[in-house]
Amino acid sequence: MDRGRLRWPVAIAAAVVVAELAVAVLRPREGIIEPAPVRAESYFSASEIDRARDYNGPQRALYGAALAIQIGVLVLLVRHPPRRLSGPFRRPLLAAAAIGAALSVTISLAVLPLNVAGRQRARDYGLITQSWGGYARDTAVSWGIGGVIAGAGAAAGIALIRRSPRRWWIPGSAVVVAFGVVTIYAGPVVLDPLFNTFKPLPAGQVRSDVLDLARKAGVEVGEVYAIDASRRTTAANAYVTGLGHTKRVVLYDTLIENFSRDELRLVVAHELGHVHYDDVPWGLLYLTIVAPLGMFAVARLTERVAPQGAIGGAAMLPALALSMTVMATAITTISNQHSRAIEARADSFALQTTDEPKPFISFERRIALRNLSDPDPPDWLTFLMATHPPTIERIGIGVAYERDR
Q: For 37-77, how does the pLDDT look when each residue is reduced to its tens digit (9 = 90+)?
A: 999 999 999 999 999 999 999 999 999 999 999 999 999 99
- Burial of 162: CB neighbours in 10 Å, binned 0-12, 13-18, 19+: middle
At residue 6, the pLDDT reads 58
Provide the edge-to-edge strand list for the sheet that holds 248-252.
198-200, 223-227, 248-252, 238-241
- pLDDT classification of 217: cutoffs 50, 70, 90: confident
Rounded CA-CA distance 265/272 in Å is 10
Identify the pLDDT of residue 193: 94
Check pLDDT > 60 for residue 180: yes
Q: Does 8 score more than 50 pLDDT?
A: yes
Predicted pLDDT of residue 1: 44
Helix (H, G, I), strand (E, B) or coil at 405: coil
Asked if pLDDT for residue 328 goes beyond 70, the answer is: yes
Q: What is the pTM of this model?
A: 0.93
Sequence-distant (6+) residues with CB within 8 A of 121 are 55, 58, 59, 62
Q: Which of 219-228, 320-329, 371-380 has the lowest mean pLDDT?
A: 219-228
Has residue 269 got a pLDDT over 90? yes
- What distances in angstroms separate CA 321 from CA 75, 95, 101, 102, 172, one per listed residue? 10, 16, 11, 12, 14
Nearest partner of 395 among 347, 339, 338, judged by Cα: 347
User: Which residues, at least 6 apart from 273, have a Cβ–Cβ distance to it below 8 Å?
Assistant: 217, 345, 346, 347, 348, 349, 350, 353
How do the domains of the chain map onto residue ranges? 3-197+268-404
In the chain, pLDDT over 70 holds for what percent of residues? 98
Residue type, 186: A
